[in-house]
């Protein structure tokens, strides 16, 4: 007679939902969320997540379904990071900065059965297929359909139904070098591990207060929706980056931590109303290598800067520029230079799981570069904090995982002390203010202009955004167009951050076979600078 195999006493599958249950149990009356005038305790947050998950099930969501959320940094999106997986579904947080066609593509590609949205973004989803259910969060006088469903749902505890910690927890879409967004799959185990690493390296504690300057839709907010909760710290929601509001919230809510791309730090440090922080603030920065000048400016305000590095494919940060006590004696410029490096593996990443390598012609053979701070190679990664793969794209997954590692496309040197430092990018992706821009996608839009014959888009340095797109254009014989006209054409078809900030009309450099030599254009734009990233 067959009997059920008993569960192993020493094993338990892990999921980020565990963090919320624990914090509600131990710190139930502590403030979990501050969202405008709304304040909720951890006990209230857990109760709402139970209702949220039951509401999704009542609306027809079944295990494995994809649930897309199009919202700003607000409590509903934060709670969705727990409620959607608790309902057995897969979260797909959508970038609110994308245009309508991009939103439609992503919703269609992931096969979302439900889209939860803020009324502000209703025009972006009004042409979705009839089979996709829409649940409005509210806003602008709209009917809050999700709130009504939650009010009718039970707040009784709901057991986490995930039986496999390697199951997909979320899908985050990122622009690839082909211009077509790819769905990066995160697992329950990977998100759990990365959240713990974030909490450890940021030194999050129950008394910490985290300000949401980083979009929650970006790599699931670098896993901070789970990390902050794991520490039983307080989430302070911020709908959009506004320096004045940031200064106000840091003071009023006694903020101790926030994350942001260097462009956010530049905006704060150079704002007319800039003011020194009343208490120490730990700032975690990534998205692009910060300039030592920016680091020094922020530290003059009372911030402690920690740089981390990663990609959407690595749950956000996977390395950290861990501070060494012997650097304390360096001057301001010296400390800033050390902090500008991308660092070493985070605590949940194996020592050999991040390498700087060169290939020998065989993509399966990877050879480490010497740790001399000079020899360049590509950063590759493996381990718990690397994506499961690209959703419905086995070919792209296999290519990205050649040689048993994920290939970042970022070119770096390896210093003698084991710290990485990015020097260039092998992929034609522009990282502007922490947002990825596919040059091929921008080129396609430029080429739609009636007067354009050929086009190449590369990154040009920018003091505020790190780098921005610049288009090099060859016009059709006899055709005319101005720089302003090309930019206006793109602005109508692309989000603002993807629109070229400059256009130069010229004959494009090419190889003997007619291929455009984009590296020549990049070299022209970055001539005189030490690195090819800013």
DSSP 8-state symbol, 167: S
Residue 47 resides in a domain: yes
Task: Point out the domain boundary residue: 145, 169, 187.
Answer: 187
What is the pLDDT, as a whole number, of residue 376? Answer: 87
Same domain, 445 and 401: no
CB 60 within 8 A of CB 113: yes
- Same domain for 415 and 521, yes or no, is no
CATH number at residue 396: 2.30.38.10
Whether residues 380 and 414 share a domain: the answer is: yes
Kindly report the CATH number assigned to the domain that includes residue 50: 3.40.50.12780
| Residues written for the chain | 534
| Predicted local distance difference test score (pLDDT) of residue 534 | 62
Q: What is the pLDDT of residue 54?
A: 97
Rounded CA separation 381/315 (Å)? 12
Structural domain containing residue 475: 429-526
The verdict on residue 317 lying in a domain is: no
Q: Does some domain include residue 274?
A: no
Q: Which of 364, 398, 425 is the last residue of a domain?
A: 425
Q: DSSP H helical segments within 87-187, as ranges?
A: 100-110, 145-152
- Which pLDDT value is given to residue 447? 87
Split into its structural domains, the chain has a count of 3
Cα distances (Å, whole numbers) of residue 136 to 61, 72, 133, 144, 468: 16, 13, 10, 5, 34
Tell me if 511 is assigned to some domain: yes
Residue 513's pLDDT is what?
Answer: 46
Q: pTM here?
A: 0.86
Answer whether residue 210 is part of any domain. Answer: no
Same-domain status, 492 and 516: yes
Please report whether residue 387 resides in a domain.
yes
Distance of CA 282 to the CA centre of its chain: 19
CA 126 – CA 112 distance, rounded (Å): 15
Q: Give the Å distances, CA to CA, from 23 to 41, 45, 192, 232, 237.
A: 10, 10, 15, 5, 19
| pLDDT at residue 1, as a whole number | 43
461 and 490 share one domain? yes
Q: Do residues 354 and 487 both lie within one domain?
A: no
3-state helix, strand, coil in the chain (%, to 5): 30, 25, 40
Final residue in a domain of this structure, among 396, 425, 454 = 425
Show pLDDT as tens, one digit a residue, over the chain (534 residues): 445 556 789 988 999 999 999 999 999 999 999 999 999 999 999 999 999 999 999 999 999 999 999 999 999 999 999 999 999 999 999 999 888 999 999 999 999 999 999 999 999 999 999 899 999 999 887 889 999 999 999 999 998 878 899 999 999 998 644 457 899 999 999 999 999 999 999 999 999 999 999 999 999 999 999 999 999 999 999 999 999 999 999 999 999 999 988 878 888 988 889 989 999 999 999 876 676 778 888 989 999 999 999 999 999 999 999 999 999 999 887 888 888 889 999 999 998 999 999 987 787 899 999 999 989 899 999 999 999 999 999 999 999 999 999 999 888 899 999 999 988 677 677 888 888 787 878 888 898 898 998 889 999 999 889 899 999 999 988 999 999 999 999 999 999 999 999 999 999 887 544 568 888 898 899 887 766 666
User: Which runs of E-coded beta strand occur in 226-287?
Assistant: 234-236, 257-260, 281-285
Tell me, what CATH number does 465's domain have? 3.30.300.30
Helix (H) or strand (E) holding 523: helix 518-526
Q: Are residues 102 and 143 in the same domain?
A: yes
In a domain, 294, yes or no: no
């Amino acid at each position: 007679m067959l009997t059920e195999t008993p569960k192993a006493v020493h094993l338990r599958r892990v999921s980020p939902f565990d963090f919320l249950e624990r914090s509600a149990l131990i710190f139930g009356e502590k403030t979990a969320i501050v969202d405008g005038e709304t304040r909720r305790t951890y006990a209230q947050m857990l109760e709402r997540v139970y209702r949220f998950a039951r509401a999704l099930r009542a609306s027809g969501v079944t295990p494995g379904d994809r649930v897309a959320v199009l919202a700003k940094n607000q409590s509903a999106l934060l709670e969705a990071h727990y409620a959607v997986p608790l309902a057995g579904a897969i979260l797909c947080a959508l970038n609110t900065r994308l245009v309508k066609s991009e939103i439609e593509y992503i919703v269609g590609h992931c096969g979302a059965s439900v889209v939860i949205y803020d009324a502000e973004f209703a025009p972006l989803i009004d042409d979705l297929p009839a089979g996709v259910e829409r649940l409005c969060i509210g806003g602008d006088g709209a009917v809050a359909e999700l709130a009504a469903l939650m009010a009718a749902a039970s707040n009784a505890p709901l057991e986490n139904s995930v039986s496999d910690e390697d199951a997909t927890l979320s899908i985050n879409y990122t622009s690839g070098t082909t211009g077509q967004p790819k769905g990066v799959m995160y697992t329950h185990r990977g998100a759990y591990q990365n959240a713990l690493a974030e909490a450890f390296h940021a030194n999050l504690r129950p008394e910490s207060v985290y300000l949401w300057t980083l979009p929650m839709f970006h790599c699931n907010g670098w896993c901070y929706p789970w990390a902050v909760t794991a520490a039983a710290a307080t989430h302070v929601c911020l709908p959009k980056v506004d320096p004045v509001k940031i200064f106000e919230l840091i003071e009023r809510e006694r903020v101790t931590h926030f994350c942001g791309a260097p462009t956010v730090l530049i905006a704060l440090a150079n704002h007319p109303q800039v003011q020194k922080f009343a208490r120490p603030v730990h700032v975690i920065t990534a998205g692009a290598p910060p300039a030592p000048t920016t680091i020094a400016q922020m530290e003059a305000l009372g911030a402690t800067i920690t740089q981390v590095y990663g990609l959407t494919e690595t749950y956000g940060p996977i390395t950290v520029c861990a501070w060494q006590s012997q650097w304390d004696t360096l001057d301001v410029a010296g400390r800033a230079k050390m902090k500008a490096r991308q660092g070493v593996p985070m605590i949940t990443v194996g020592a050999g799981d991040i390498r700087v390598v060169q290939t020998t012609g065989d993509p399966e053979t990877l050879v480490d570069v010497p740790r001399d701070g000079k020899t360049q190679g590509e950063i590759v990664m493996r381990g718990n904090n690397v994506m499961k793969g690209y959703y419905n794209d086995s070919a792209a997954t296999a290519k990205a995982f050649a040689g048993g590692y994920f290939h970042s496309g970022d070119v770096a040197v390896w210093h003698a002390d084991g710290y990485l430092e990015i020097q260039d990018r092998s992929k034609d992706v522009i990282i502007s203010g922490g947002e990825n821009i596919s040059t091929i996608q921008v080129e396609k839009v430029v080429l739609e202009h009636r007067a354009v014959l050929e086009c190449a888009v590369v990154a040009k340095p920018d003091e505020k955004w790190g780098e921005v797109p610049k288009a090099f254009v060859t016009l059709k014989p006899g055709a005319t167009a101005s720089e302003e006209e090309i930019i206006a054409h793109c602005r109508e078809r692309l989000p603002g951050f993807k629109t070229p900030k400059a256009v130069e009309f010229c004959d494009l450099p090419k190889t003997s076979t007619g291929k455009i030599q984009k590296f020549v254009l990049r070299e022209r734009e970055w001539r005189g600078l030490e690195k090819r990233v800013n």
